[in-house]
Amino acid sequence: MNQAIFYEERNVTAKGLDPNNKINEDKLKSYIFKEDYNNLNLLNNIKIPLGKEEISLLYPGCGVDVLFPLIYLEKLFPQIKTANLTFVDSENVFGLIKTVLDDIGISFAENKSNNIVSFHWKNTLINLNFVLNKIESHLPNQEPIDIYFEKAFRIMRDNIPNYENNILNKIKPNGILISDSGFTEQNLKTIEVPKILSSYQEMIIGIKEEIKE
Ligand SMILES: C[S@@+](CC[C@H](N)C(=O)[O-])C[C@H]1O[C@@H](n2cnc3c(N)ncnc32)[C@H](O)[C@@H]1O
């Protein structure tokens, strides 16, 4: 794979919400490895039962990757009108995330007092809250979530005690787990997905089943 991806933070200003954002697809492609970009088409035929129009999503160890969760949401849950995303990282990557959004043509509004940017992604209003913290320190304060998203975090979270159970406890009944590693021993109703969506070949999408008394 002869492709390198460079990130350089710019001081981007919030230009406000724009429901008619035009995503610059060439620029977007430049932020994703070609093979990964092509593999995203594999999501087109996956159906997941989540009837909600407003959801919350947690993405620990997000790094600068704002694009994958947005594309997963767009393809897997096209009915969602509002998505409240919590991105948690131990490094301050918020400036880079805003630079990527600006680069690809997404105009956003910003609330600097609480690290939230809001923008339209296709038909969905996104409210993205960046939390600068270790996920293990943040998790006790996290409200229950509809969707958990994980990518390229396997090595880091292997060192966090009881990680998978603590995450599962934060997912609402009938909530969805999307991860490129682990969670095979958890009590999830899994949906068949191509393993190749994960660079570890471990892709898993599962539904946390409601426990009936
Ligand atoms: C390999 S990068 C993956 C980034 C992104 N998920 C992706 O797919 O491009 C791992 C990220 O996890 C962050 N990280 C490492 N340990 C962490 C922790 N305990 N809590 C939160 N973030 C952590 C790092 O700062 C880094 O941004």
Whether 163 is in a domain gets the answer yes
Cα(175)–Cα(186) distance, integer angstroms: 14
Give me the pLDDT at residue 154, please: 96
Report the pLDDT value the prediction gives residue 109, as an integer from 0 to 100.
97
Instruction: Note whether 146 and 176 are within 8 A (CB).
Output: yes
Query: From start to end of the chain, where are the E strands?
Result: 54-60, 82-89, 108-111, 116-121, 124-132, 145-150, 171-179, 188-191, 204-208
ipTM metric: 0.99
Q: How far apart are CA 70 and CA 122, in angstroms?
A: 10
- Residue 2 located in a structural domain: no
Assess if residue 16 is contained within a domain.
no
187 vs 185: CA distance, rounded Å: 7
Q: Give the whole-number percent of the chain exceeding pLDDT 70.
A: 98
Q: Is the dihedral of CA 9, 15, 18, 20 positive or negative?
A: negative
Q: Is 129 helix (H, G, I), strand (E, B) or coil?
A: strand
pLDDT greater than 80 at residue 121:
yes
Q: Among residues 85, 167, 151, 145, which one has the least CA distance to residue 118?
A: 85
Looking at residue 59, which CATH number applies to its domain? 3.40.50.150
Helix (H, G, I), strand (E, B) or coil at 20: coil
**Domain tally for the chain?**
1
Residue 187 lies in a domain: no
Whether residue 190 is contained in a domain is answered as no
Over pLDDT 90: what percentage of the chain?
A: 87
Question: Which residue has better confidence, 183 or 187?
Answer: 183
Domain that holds residue 72: 25-178
Q: What is the pLDDT of residue 166?
A: 97
At residue 5 the predicted structure's pLDDT band, cuts being 50, 70 and 90, is: confident
Pocket test for ligand 1, best of 9, 32, 66, 153 (most atoms within 8 A of CB): 153
**Cα 55 from Cα 57, distance rounded (Å):** 7
- Lining ligand 1 with CB less than 6 A are 60-63, 65, 88-91, 134-136, 151-153, 156
What pLDDT is attached to residue 7? 85
Q: 94 CA to middle of ligand 1, Å?
A: 13
Q: What is the mean pLDDT of residues 148-174?
A: 96
Residue 186, in any domain of the structure: no
Write the DSSP symbol of residue 36.
H
Judge whether 174 lies within some domain: yes
- Does residue 17 belong to any structural domain of this protein? no
151 token code pair: 């990518």
For residue 159, how far is its CA from the centre of ligand 1 (angstroms)? 13
Atom 12 of ligand 1 has which residue's CA nearest to it? 61
pLDDT at 53: 95
